[in-house]
Amino acid sequence: MVFSLADAISHAQSSARAVLEGPDINRALIRISHEILERTKGAQDIVLLGIPTRGVHLAHRLAAHIRQFEGRSVPVGSLDVTMYRDDLRLRPARALGRTELPADGIDGKIVVLVDDVLYSGRTVRSALDALNDLGRPQAVQLAALVDRGHRELPIRPDYVGKNLPTSKSEIVKVYLEENDGRDAVLLLKEDEK
Amino acid sequence: MSSIVIKGASILGGEPRDILIRDGVVADIGQGLTGDETVEARGLIALPGLVDLHTHLREPGREDAETVATGTRAAALGGYTAVHAMANTEPVADTAGVVEQVWRLGQEAGYCDVQPVGAVTVGLGGERLAELGAMADSAAQVRVFSDDGKCVSDAVLMRRALEYVKAFDGVVAQHAQEPRLTSGAQMNEGAVSGRLGLTGWPAVAEEAVIARDCLLAAHVGSRLHVCHVSTAGSVEILRWAKSKGWDVTAEVTPHHLLLTDELVEDSPVGAYNPIYKVNPPLRTRADVEALREALADGTIDCVATDHAPHPVEDKETEWAAAAMGMIGLETALSVVQEAMVETGLLDWAGVAERMSLAPARIGRLRGHGRSIEVGAPANITLYDASVRGEVDPSGYASKSRNTPYEGRTLPGRVVATFLRGRPTVLNGKLA
Amino acid sequence: MKRHLISAADLSRDDALLILDTADELAKISERSIKKLPTLRGRTVVNLFFEDSTRTRISFEAAAKRLSADVINFSAKGSSVSKGESLKDTALTLEAMGADAVVIRHGASGAPHRLATWVRGSVVNAGDGTHEHPTQALLDAFTMRRRLGSLDGRKITIVGDVLHSRVARSNVLLLSTLGAEVTLVAPPTLFPVSVDSWPCQISYDLDAVLPKSDVVMMLRVQRERMNAAFFPTEREYSRRYGLDRDRVARMPDEAIVMHPGPMNRGMEIAAEVADSPRSTIVEQVANGVTTRMAVLYLLLGGADLGGEIQ
């Protein structure tokens, strides 16, 4: 799904429904940051691992908020799950995203996986497999900006920005400033893509 | 013997005429002629039966690729009434016994006359002269001698052969290929061979031998025929030799008039497809242009097919392992129409000269290569130049299928062939 | 990208960069303790080697295994091939075994092209006769990029038996696609006659080219070429076209020395040059596995869409 900014704006202005605007996203991330701090008792041993592409931007934003609240930086990395996906045979071979682990690695750490949209759970399953080859965390948690339901695997998020009931024919698009020039979460009908 | 009248054929593309055939000869030419049988030929071109100076019939030895019977059927379907069978059989046609065997097989097949070519050297070995006189004196009456497939590269041996065949008005047909310059050679040496990493076959390897042989023929006052000329440089040398008045003739194959080495790299049948592997190799566009011009102006005397059948397993291989050669009897006239007639370089009289009269003259074949006129043997080919069709070798009479034209659209179709008045082909099918 | 990787000319600039970028990511895998990825589980890669080349075969084997593919090694020696079985029959056998990719090394130029007409799987050329060796060129480009950054405008000199070198052909094509300026250096006898139509410069004078080279790649020179009069003696070849310490001193400070191996130490390259810090020869071997992983992943890692990958 490749959208140009012009497409996105024209969609936003016409039929597509914006379920989150910039300030909503910001508030959600601030809340998640607080929840992470609470749940991990001050985020002493955590590593934020974003799943490319937008999950990585979200992980950096969460880290920035935590630094703002606690005055301390938490390690951030990226985890590309392409090579572990279970749907590779369904689409043409795709370019790999970056995997970059913090210098101290993930052994014994609480890894918080960060993704933009949680849907079937298959991406997270791939991420768990990838983590397994990279080390042995103390625990793995999951943060998602949007949970749109329709899980196909026994996976649930620990931190959610917004629970968004959808039908399977709808499409959730997340735009982030770093990637797309603006912040927004849109809900599109399939025929609008 | 009953009479046949060919109705309304246009002889060499001229006005429609009836041709009456009786007792194997042309009995009358005119309007409103009648005979016991009638062959409708309105809109068809009548040519003297085609003569091939260069055919590989593979028998004896490689009957899996072709036999005299299948090869002569292919020849008839291609409009030929006589073919010269090359000597590189197993055993080699280097004795009176072998050439008589081939000659007899041709007589039995009956679709077209088979004139054996004798080897110049024993076993094509390039070391000792074969018994050229015995072959000339045999029932086969061999007049053309060639080690085709191999070059008579030894200058002294070539000189002796040229001299020796003078005794019986023979001619040495040279396969011009300097062996050291073509060791391991795979395709024309040029831009394509460089890119493809195939060992190059330089034009000079052909041209150097032709130049030497022209000089030798002039020196000893002999007749030289040059097989399958393939380069612009060879054409220049032949033009020079002819300008001196030397008795040098030359042939070009249909494929060298149409195809280029670029096909080895890029063709509908994939790169490195050995269907395009042939000796001499396909050359460049400039060479093709020069060959067409030379055939048009007479520097090259005739078209010869170099029909070289190979079984499929010898072509469905990697390039280097594949056999060299293409079949050509059943497509020759169509290719010449495409390359020479439709380009305006030759008219039908020119085609008759290059594909019938000249090759019969060079091969000293009596009874072939005569213009269609009263009293001449009724060797006639009826050709429909107005149709075009996709080449489909599945129905070929040849045992082999190694045609480079499969799937290509070519003009023309041989409708009928008459060998001494007897139809060998009617309605495009063996009679 | 096309279905097969037979020639470096099959790769567009975007294809080539995709392979190199993918290899960059995959390089990290070889630094991990677990070097295996599950990506090609259930896929079969056949290594079909008609020529002995243990290095290249092992490199492809390691690449396929790190991606969890099943690997079948099929070498001509001791197989039905040495008993006269044709390449086509071998291809049909592989087809019946369900090979998803066939990695072929063959002594005849063009053998991979022929194979590709007989099998449905992807064909990867691991060196055909004197034609091409595209994965070698990719690993060379990968090695250069790691040392020098982008190859755009880089001056790359390839020295040696260009006429018979599949490495040179593939490198000229790939490096020019990537925007590098390639100069080939050899005695005139070891150039193809039409080399002036290639996308590169040619020179007979190594010393003139060295000071302007970011990379100097030495090609293996077979001693038997001497017997065919391509050059008079090994000593003369080495003197005019060998890379020794004095010549290295004429190269820019950052320039690197490459060799696809196996080397003739003392012939085209002096031992001390081969072992110097400028030499990337050992890196090239390691990078071979990574680059071949990228190729196998991009050819086999997605849906079978009749050849196109995006």
Q: Which of B189, B190, B318 sits opposite C108 (nearest CB)?
A: B318
Confidence at residue C309, expressed as pLDDT on a 0 to 100 scale: 28
Domain containing residue A30? 22-83+99-167
Interface present between B and C (3 or more CB pairs within 8 Å): yes
Confidence grade of residue A78 (pLDDT, cut at 50, 70, 90): very high
Instruction: Report the share of chain A in percent with pLDDT over 70.
Output: 90
For residue range C106-132, what is the model confidence (pLDDT) as tens digits? 999 999 999 999 999 999 999 999 999
The alpha carbon of residue C87 is apart from the nearest alpha carbon of chain B, in Å, by 6
Confidence at residue A7, expressed as pLDDT on a 0 to 100 scale: 55
E strands, B217-352, in order: 224-226, 248-252, 302-303
Nearest to B296 by CA among B235, B245, B378: B235
Confidence at residue C222, expressed as pLDDT on a 0 to 100 scale: 83
Confidence at residue C307, expressed as pLDDT on a 0 to 100 scale: 40
Tell me if C143 sits within 8 A of C258, measured CB to CB. Answer: yes
Tell me if A148 sits within 8 A of A117, measured CB to CB. Answer: yes
Q: How far apart (Å, rounded) are the C-alpha atoms in residues B176 and B230?
A: 10
Fold entry, domain B50-369: TIM Barrel (3.20.20)
Contact C299 A93 (CB under 8 A): yes
All structural domains of chain B with their residue ranges:
50-369
Contacts of C78 (CB under 8 A, 6+ apart): none
Confidence grade of residue C226 (pLDDT, cut at 50, 70, 90): confident
Average pLDDT, chain C: 92
Contacts of B105 (CB under 8 A, 6+ apart): B59, B67, B68, B69, B114
| Three-state secondary structure of C128-191 | ECCCECHHHHHHHHHHHHHHHCCCCCCEEEEECCCCCCHHHHHHHHHHHHCCCEEEEECCHHHC
Tell me if C12 sits within 8 A of C130, measured CB to CB. Answer: no
Q: Which of B195, B284, B315 to mutate to test the interface with C (most CBs of C within 10 A)?
A: B195
Contacting residues of B for C87, CB less than 8 Å apart: 317-318, 321
The alpha carbon of residue C287 is apart from the nearest alpha carbon of chain B, in Å, by 26
Query: How remote is the C-alpha of A118 from its chain's centroid?
Result: 8
Q: Does C16 touch chain A (CB under 8 A)?
A: no
Tell me if B146 sits within 8 A of B173, measured CB to CB. Answer: yes
Number of separate domains in chain A: 1
Q: How many residues does chain B have?
A: 431
Peptide bond into B423 cis (omega under 30): no
Mean pLDDT, range A36-64, rounded to an integer? 95
For residue range C14-58, what is the model confidence (pLDDT) as tens digits? 999 999 999 999 998 888 888 899 999 999 999 999 998 889 999
Q: Does C108 touch chain B (CB under 8 A)?
A: yes
Contacting residues of C for A95, CB less than 8 Å apart: 18, 21-22
Catalytic residue among B306, B347, B384, B392: B306
Confidence at residue A10, expressed as pLDDT on a 0 to 100 scale: 54
Q: What is the DSSP letter of C274?
A: H
From residue B394, how far is each of B111, B362, B401 by CA, in Å?
20, 33, 7
Contacts of B426 (CB under 8 A, 6+ apart): B39, B415, B416
Annotated catalytic residue C290: no
Peptide bond into C211 cis (omega under 30): no
Q: Which of B194, B270, B317 sits opposite C193 (nearest CB)?
A: B194
For residue range A96-137, what is the model confidence (pLDDT) as tens digits? 999 999 999 999 999 999 999 999 999 999 999 999 999 999
Contact A92 C303 (CB under 8 A): yes
Contact C308 A96 (CB under 8 A): no
For residue range C267-292, what is the model confidence (pLDDT) as tens digits? 999 999 999 999 999 999 999 999 99
Q: Which of B180, B187, B318 to mutate to test the interface with C (most CBs of C within 10 A)?
A: B318
Contacting residues of C for A88, CB less than 8 Å apart: 39, 301-303
Q: Which residues of C fall in the annotated binding site for carbamoyl phosphate?
A: 55-56, 105, 133, 136, 261-262
Confidence grade of residue A1 (pLDDT, cut at 50, 70, 90): very low
Q: Which two tokens stand for residue B23?
A: 């007792």
Catalytic residue among C28, C83, C117, C233: C83
E strands, A51-183, in order: 76-78, 110-118, 139-147, 159-163, 170-175
- How big is the A-C interface in CB pairs under 8 Å? 54
Using CB atoms and an 8 Å cut-off, which of residues 135-164 of chain C contact chain B?
Answer: 164
pLDDT at C243 over 70: yes
The subunits that touch chain C, with at least 3 C-beta pairs less than 8 Å apart, are A, B
Contact A90 C303 (CB under 8 A): yes
Annotated catalytic residue B113: no
Annotated catalytic residue C41: no
Contact A96 C303 (CB under 8 A): no
Peptide bond into A82 cis (omega under 30): no
Contact A93 C21 (CB under 8 A): no
Query: How remote is the C-alpha of A176 from its chain's centroid?
Result: 11
Confidence at residue C84, expressed as pLDDT on a 0 to 100 scale: 64
Confidence at residue C193, expressed as pLDDT on a 0 to 100 scale: 93
Q: Does C111 touch chain B (CB under 8 A)?
A: yes
Nearest CA in chain A to C295: A93
Confidence grade of residue C225 (pLDDT, cut at 50, 70, 90): confident
Contact A96 C22 (CB under 8 A): yes
Q: How far apart (Å, rounded) are the C-alpha atoms in residues C3 and C10?
A: 9
Angle at B48 between CA B46 and CA B54, to 5 degrees: 130
Q: How far apart (Å, rounded) are the C-alpha atoms in residues B343 and B338?
A: 7
For residue range C82-111, what is the model confidence (pLDDT) as tens digits? 556 789 999 998 888 889 999 999 999 999
* CATH number of the domain bearing residue A161: 3.40.50.2020
The alpha carbon of residue B187 is apart from the nearest alpha carbon of chain C, in Å, by 12
| Three-state secondary structure of B148-164 | CCCCCCCHHHHHHHHHH
Confidence at residue C261, expressed as pLDDT on a 0 to 100 scale: 87
Nearest to B333 by CA among B384, B399, B287, B260: B384
Low-confidence ranges of chain B (pLDDT < 50): none
β partners of residue C45: C71, C101
Confidence at residue C32, expressed as pLDDT on a 0 to 100 scale: 85
For residue range A165-189, what is the model confidence (pLDDT) as tens digits? 999 999 999 999 999 999 999 999 8
* Domains recognised in chain C with CATH numbers: 8-133+285-300 (3.40.50.1370), 134-280 (3.40.50.1370)
Contacting residues of A for C67, CB less than 8 Å apart: 83
E strands, chain C, in order: 44-49, 70-75, 101-106, 122-128, 155-159, 181-185, 201-203, 215-218, 256-258
Q: Does C261 touch chain B (CB under 8 A)?
A: no
Q: Which two tokens stand for residue C249?
A: 């001193």
Q: What is the DSSP letter of C265?
A: B
- How big is the B-C interface in CB pairs under 8 Å? 75
Q: Does C169 touch chain B (CB under 8 A)?
A: yes
Question: Poorest-confidence range of A37-46, A53-62, B360-369, C151-160?
Answer: A37-46
